[in-house]
Structure 1
Amino acid sequence: RHWLEAEPTDTAVCVDAAPLDAAAARYFAPVADRLELAQGDVTAPEMWAQLPKDADFVVHGAAVTPHAFIDASGRQHDPEREDPVRVLTVNILGTARALDWARTLGHLRRFVYVSTGSVYADIVAGQEERPFPLPEDGYVGPYALYDVSKYSGELIARRFRQLYDLPVASVRLSSVFGPLDRPTSVRNVRNAANLVAHAAAQGHRLSVASAEAIGDYVYAPDVADALRRLLLASKEALHHDTYNIATGTTATIADLAAHAAAAAAGFSIETVGLGADVRADPARRTGRWGAYDISRAGADLGWRPRPLGDAMRAYIAWLRENPCQPT
């Protein structure tokens, strides 16, 4: 949507395994006349064969994000343990299929692979004592299958660039929140910024295990802006093949709550320990859990995210205007 609103003569094709749900249909309604949905399996070559051959830009973000979750009946699910092959097949083979299709495009200007900060190590020695934002080079230490598969995707994208001179770049996202951030069949996770904003928009008090847990939270529309800048950047402007997209600083849950209270008078959190709505671990303060260095994106793309307080205010306003979201 961000791209189509900025480029009023362009059209886009969105590939998904499922049709648009009601929330997505409402969100894309303003640009629906220039948005085509191609439903299919990203691991199947015949799905890619049906796509337009004149695409100029490709953003590949299709993935299974197998976070453990509890369903509406109270049953615990662990998608990584329940179906590890699905995680690896979609995330690795799906990426290879996308790149293999992209190399047949005659007018491809850029392919962006959407990776994740989860490729970074959990623990970085010395970072807690002397905090520094994590740069793209070094500190990579994938652990779970999701992490491994996303880093594999980065390496595959890099190799396709070398083999075919494809204009490929990767982005590593920190904790994203914003419009359409909701549980789906392939991603059932809600970060602290999402939970705080929802509670504030609905006028609920939020219980937390600790107000001191941290994260680097970035607003989805700012991520969209970064992707657009990366797609449009000239070859000469890009000096790297991987970019962190984040806010560049950490915020505690207490910080998030303060920003939310500024936009929703009377909002508050309470620390309850067990059974909390937000269970983020305050001991996780380094590596993927800390701040990400965004200086590359600033230098090469001229990109800066909005202040976190402004992002929380905008998201809470959007939630109030679009109340049919998960609680």
Structure 2
Amino acid sequence: MRILVTGSAGFIGFHLARRLLSEGHAVTGFDGFSDYYDVGLKRARHAILATMPGFAAVEARLETPGTLPEAMARAEPEIVVHLAAQAGVRHSLENPGAYVEANLVGMGNLLEAVRAHPVRHLLFASTSSAYGGDARVPFRETDRAVSPLTLYAASKLAGEAMAHAYSHLFGIPTTAFRFFTVYCPWGRPDMALFLFTKKILAGEPIEVFAGGAAERDFTYVDDLVEAIRRLADRPPIDASVGEADTLSPVAPYRLVNIGGGRPVRLDAMIDALEGALGRRAERLLKPLPPGDVARTHASTELLRALIGGAPETPLETGIPAFVAWYRDYYRT
């Protein structure tokens, strides 16, 4: 197949593009190489993709008019996986304009590009943060998400609504997925696992929010990529798969959680990291920051109905894999 992946220099986009290329698909990677975090890490990811047959890179920003339609006209993709976004819950408190530009303007430009160049299936990344202040767990896709706690979450909810409208108006088969705390080798430096590893190796204390009692539904990237890959073959054009389905009654549109459904306490994650590093962490206990939630917990009922499984890699496997990559990449 011909597939366009936006955000291909990001950690999820990189892993997905590498998987698709290994299967023999032609992949166009579209990325603007924003400086939100280390651009060198992003370029190192793209350098690996560039060694694989079938990869073509486009360096441009979604917010720039005309760039994506030009790329799609050349690549003629059958599938688009939209992963590019301004990420980070806490950063949205400091730089809200970046979220408006990337996640709202960028999303609008993407939808217009897909409208002009129709595809078999559009898939795009939303976030578990969309559930916001909803304290009911597990988070079910059929629950109304109406209480976002940050602009990041609000921008992703808006993206879901925009995509549904375009799906209804122009018949674009669209699957939105809400990710749950993805981690992996080549991960994002602003996320907890990366930050903790860096500080523990440097002998610096780590900040542990909510006294370590906060819980996250950690998802290893290989499981996430497997789910996206299988969902790509399931455009929302068939009949409903049951009561848990979010198939729209007025559009070929579906919303799916991608998480394992097994929340882990933050202090347990740190214990596993200490074991993989062979070092103890000095823990500074802090209250939960604004915009953070005490727990995330994915319902996996719909994902299992659609693809026959859900993420299963335990932290005891995933964290050592991350640590091994980190030590090799940073020579620590």
| TM-score, normalised with respect to structure 2 | 0.76
Matched, 1:313 2:329: no
Does 2:81 correspond to 1:59?
yes
Instruction: Write out per-residue CA displacement over residues 12-68 of structure 1, whole angstroms, 9 at most, x where no aligned residue.
Output: 222222389332333344431433222223133311232133101111122223644
Matched-pair contact (CA < 8 Å) for 2:21–2:27: no
- 2:274 is matched with which residue: 261, 269, 279? 261
- Show the counterpart of 1:186: none
Q: Is the 8 A contact 1:57 1:109 kept in 2?
A: yes
Q: 1:233 is paired with a residue of what secondary structure?
A: coil
**Given the alignment, which residue of 92, 104, 108 partners 1:96?**
108
**C-alpha distance in 2, partners of 1:237/1:32?**
39
CA displacement, residues 98-147 of structure 1 (integer Å, 9 cap, x when unaligned) = 122112335x22111111111113242xx4xxxx3111121412232222
Q: Which amino acid aligns with 1:57?
A: I
Task: Look up the equivalent residue of 2:77 and give its one-letter code.
Answer: A
Displacement, 1:5? 3.9
Alpha-carbon distance in 2 for matches of 1:68, 1:7:
33
- Does residue 15 (structure 1) correspond to residue 33 (structure 2)? The answer is no
Amino acid at match of 1:243: V
Secondary structure, counterpart of 2:330 in structure 1: coil
Q: 1:36 to 1:66 in 2, by over 3 A?
A: same
Which of 184, 188, 193 does residue 178 from structure 1 map onto?
184
- Partner deviation per Cα, 1:152-192 (whole Å, 9 max, x = no partner): 11011111111121110101112222233334xxxxx323x
Q: In structure 2, how many angstroms separate the alpha carbons of the residues matched to 1:295 and 1:197?
A: 33
Q: Which amino acid aligns with 1:246?
A: G
Preserved contact between residue 116 and residue 172 of structure 1 (Cα < 8 Å): yes
8 A Cα contact 1:208 1:272, kept in partner:
yes
Alignment correspondent of 2:142? 137
* CA drift at 1:315: 1.1
Tell me how far apart the structure 2 counterparts of residues 168 and 5 of structure 1 sit (CA, whole Å).
21
Please provide the CA RMSD for this pair.
Answer: 3.0
Structure-2 change in CA distance of 1:158 and 1:64 (3 Å) = same
Q: Does the 8 A contact of 1:66 with 1:78 survive in 2?
A: no
Matched, 1:231 2:232: yes
CA deviation after TM superposition for structure 1 residue 6, in Å? 4.6
Q: Percent identity?
A: 20
Measured in 1, the distance between the counterparts of 2:155 and 2:120 equals 25
Q: Is 1:48 aligned with 2:68?
A: yes
Query: Quick one: distance in 2 between partners of 1:229 and 1:294?
Result: 15
Helix, strand or coil: the match of 2:212?
Answer: coil
Confirm or deny that 1:35 pairs with 2:55: yes
Taking a change above 3 Å as real, the CA distance of residues 222 and 197 of structure 1, as seen in their structure-2 partners, is farther
Query: How many residues in Structure 1 have an aligned counterpart in Structure 2?
Result: 293
Offset, 1:199: 4.9
Task: Say if 2:43 is the partner of 1:25.
Answer: yes
TM-score computed with the length of structure 1 as normaliser: 0.78
Which residue, 118, 122, 125 being the options, matches 1:114?
A: 125
- Relative to structure 1, the CA distance from residue 78 to residue 253 in structure 2 (aligned partners, 3 Å threshold; closer, same or farther) is same
- The 3-state SS of whatever aligns with 1:297 is helix
Q: Secondary structure at the match of 1:62?
A: coil
Q: 1:250 to 1:66 in 2, by over 3 A?
A: closer
SS of equivalent residue, structure 1 residue 296: helix
SS across alignment from 2:116: coil
**Would the aligned equivalents of 1:208 and 1:269 in 2 still touch at CA under 8 Å?**
no
CA pair 66-260 structure 1, distance change in 2 beyond 3 A: closer
Match of 1:73 in 2: none
2:322 is aligned with what amino acid? Answer: Y
Partner amino acid, structure 2, of 1:207: I
The worse-fitting range, judged by mean Cα deviation, of 164-173 and 313-322 is: 313-322
User: Could you tell me whether the CA contact under 8 Å between 2:185 and 2:321 is conserved in 1?
Assistant: no
